[in-house]
């Protein structure tokens, strides 16, 4: 059996299991096992029996809807690859839109706090794309924090194991920060999610109070970190398109706006801390 034949068979199996992108996932798993680029697999020699056995085992796991990124050990995010696995939320492509926005609001030499940082995806992107910035990444979960530390090693960003909503967290920076970003837990408990999400830590996905239990106190904390005129942007559930900007408004933010993702769903809200009179 050639790699092309193995990939075709795997894609059919994944499609039958309801995987959203079966051919793509089969090719990425084959590239991971073989060490070849995807285009090389089209003309590659037949896989060794041991390689084929590993590939088949990974396809079987993917068919149970275990995330592709857990199987390969990495997740692509903007211009880099992040190490991920059990215990940390797998970054989604939609979060890249939050980074796009953040980079337009970050002044030269600015200070950034990325709250609820998880794998460190947003902090990693900002630190590597804007090395002039000072970046702090705050994560409360010890398991996720291990992934965060590894991913931020060498980027210049500083990981902090702490509760981002606590008044004591980085309180030495109160009133001095230019930008706060966050991808907090925000899915309401009653919302049905894709099977892959069940492999993410529940504390990084779900939140009480209709998904707003972390967002509300985080907005208050962000307002204390920021200097007047500083910006706060955070992801939210697509049911929060109206309430997220309202939370910003009652917390002292102006120029509040909600932003859609590429599928046209409400994805993240932004606001600017009111300037002093």
Query: Can you say which residues are annotated as belonging to the binding site for S-adenosyl-L-methionine?
Result: 139, 183
Cα→Cα distances 108→135, 179, 242, Å? 12, 12, 32
Spatial CB neighbours of 194, under 8 Å, sequence gap ≥ 6 = 20, 65
Q: What HEC string does 134-182 produce?
A: EEEEEECCHHHHHHHHHHHCCCCCEEEECCCCCCCCCHHHCCCEEEEEE
Question: Pairing relation of β-strands 158-161 and 177-182?
Answer: unpaired
- What is the Cα Rg of the chain in Å? 20
Spatial CB neighbours of 100, under 8 Å, sequence gap ≥ 6 = none
Q: Say how far apart CA 261 and CA 268 lie, in whole Å.
A: 8
The answer to whether the CB of 268 falls within 8 A of the CB of 100 is no
Binding residues: 139, 183-186
Smallest CA-to-CA distance from 232 within 188, 268, 187, 275 is with 268
Binding residues for substrate: 183-186
């Amino acid at each position: 059996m050639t790699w092309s034949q193995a990939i075709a068979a795997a894609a059919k199996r994944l499609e039958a299991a309801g995987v959203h992108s079966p051919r793509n996932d089969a090719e990425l798993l084959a590239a991971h096992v073989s060490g070849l680029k995807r285009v090389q697999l089209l003309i590659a020699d037949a896989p060794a029996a041991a390689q084929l056995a590993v590939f088949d085992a990974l396809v079987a796991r993917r068919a149970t809807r275990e995330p592709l990124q857990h199987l390969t050990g990495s997740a692509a995010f903007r211009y880099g690859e992040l190490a991920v696995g059990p215990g940390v939320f797998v970054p989604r492509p939609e979060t890249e839109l939050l980074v796009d926005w953040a980079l337009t609001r970050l002044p030269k030499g600015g200070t950034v706090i990325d709250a609820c940082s998880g794998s460190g995806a947003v902090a990693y992107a900002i630190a590597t794309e804007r090395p002039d910035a000072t970046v702090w990444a705050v994560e409360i979960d010890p398991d996720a924090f291990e992934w965060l530390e590894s991913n931020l090693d060498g980027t210049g960003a500083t990981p902090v194991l702490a509760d981002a909503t606590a008044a004591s967290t980085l309180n030495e920076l109160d009133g001095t920060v230019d930008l706060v970003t966050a991808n907090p837990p925000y899915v309401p408990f009653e919302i049905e999610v894709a099977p892959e999400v069940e492999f993410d830590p529940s504390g990084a996905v779900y939140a009480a109070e209709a998904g707003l239990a972390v967002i509300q106190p985080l907005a208050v904390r962000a307002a204390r970190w920021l200097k007047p005129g500083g910006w706060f942007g955070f992801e939210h559930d697509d049911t929060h398109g109206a309430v997220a900007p309202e939370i910003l408004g009652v917390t002292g933010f102006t120029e509040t706006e909600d932003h859609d993702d590429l599928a046209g769903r409400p994805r993240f809200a932004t606001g600017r801390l009111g300037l002093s009179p």
